[in-house]
Structures are given as C-alpha cells and as structure tokens.
Amino acid sequence: MRALFALAALSVMAAPAPAQDMGCPYNARMKPDTRPSPLDSLSFTAGGSVVKICYGRPSLKGRHMIGGEAVPFDTVWRTGANESTKFITTAPVMVGALEVPAGMYALYTVPGATEWAIIINRSYEQWGRENNYTDEVRAQEIGRTKVPVEALDDAVETFTIRAEPQSDGSTHLILEWEHSRVRVPVTAKT
C-alpha cells in the first residue's frame, strides 16, 4: 500500500499543474510577514498567453551573492528565496529555445560569468534549496536554455524579476540582482 501511495505522489509531482488558477502556491507554514525575503509576483502576456511568476525577493544586505558563496557560478539556484520560483502559463509558450506546455513549473537558473542557463522543471513543490535539486528532481526538467549576462554598473539591492514587452508581441523576462541582468525571451508557441 505504501508503494502505491509513493507511486501516486511521484506521478502527481511529475505532471504540470493546471494553470487556470494562476494563484501563487506559497508554503502556508511560513507566514508572509515573518519572511526575511518578501514574496512577489508578476503577470504578463506573451503573444496572448498569460504568464505569471511567483518568487521570493532576497536582498544583498552587504553580501556578494551572484558568483559568491551563496549563489556560486555554475551551480543550480532557486532563482530567488524560500520556495522554488514558479512559472505558470495558460497556454504553450517558448522560453528561449524551450517549448513549455500550459501549466505550473519551477524556474531554476545556473548563473555564470557570461551566460545563465534557464531551467524549466515540472517538479515545483519541493522547497527551493539547491541541495533539494536531486537526480529525481532533475529528471523532471522540460529542458534548459542559455541567455547572455549583461553587467550592471549600479548594484540592484533586491532580486527583481520584471517583464519588458517587445514590439513583436513577445516579452523579455528580466532577472536582475547585484551587477547582473539576464533577458529571457518568452513568446507564444506558434
């Protein structure tokens, strides 16, 4: 019987959640006002598809983060704080070169000095800590795509994700923190 429940739990974890709700699924045990990194979200459209991002916003607080001990280069990062960052879409979209079906996913990154790998993963319920990115979680990846890094002269104190609409109907998902900025193209799947 335990094996049956374990198999059922694994199959639920592997299937993307429906995106119709578009709510941010945060850990209710961690009250919003007690978090050192505040919760945030943004919604945007990419060619008619609605996309929502839910994430925690850590601050530098005098620390060196991107490429430092907390967020080392070439290591999977939860792309924020606390829970894994959620990527929710109501219709199929392209994230860089990745085809992403409608549903809810985790958005991870692998920061590097000159480029970042963007990871879309079906397993979105695990706590965001990088040591929880096990082989079983990695097996749930839709895939990875790479984007170049822009160096910023002025430091961005608090990790920020924002959307920048493009004239062709696509949107650039902008991730900024410390002295790094990456632009992730998000387009409707045609």
Is residue 14 pLDDT above 70, yes or no?
no
What percentage of the chain carries pLDDT values higher than 90? 67
Amino acid at 98: L
What is the tens place of the pLDDT at every residue in 132-145?
889 999 999 999 99
Give the pair of three-digit tokens for residue 176: 């900024």
What's the total number of domains in the chain?
1
Amino acid at 91: A
Is residue 53 classed exposed, middle or buried when 0-12, 13-18 and 19+ CB atoms within 10 A define those classes?
A: buried
Cα atoms in the 13 Å half-sphere on the side-chain side of 119: 24
Is residue 90 pLDDT above 60, yes or no?
yes
Amino acid at 152: L
Residue 18 CB neighbours (<10 A): 12
- Closest C-alpha to 136, from 44, 7, 14: 14
Evaluate if pTM is beyond 0.75.
yes
What is the tens place of the pLDDT at every residue in 36-45?
888 899 999 9
For residue 12, the enclosing domain spans 2-188
Which letter does DSSP use for residue 127 in this model?
B
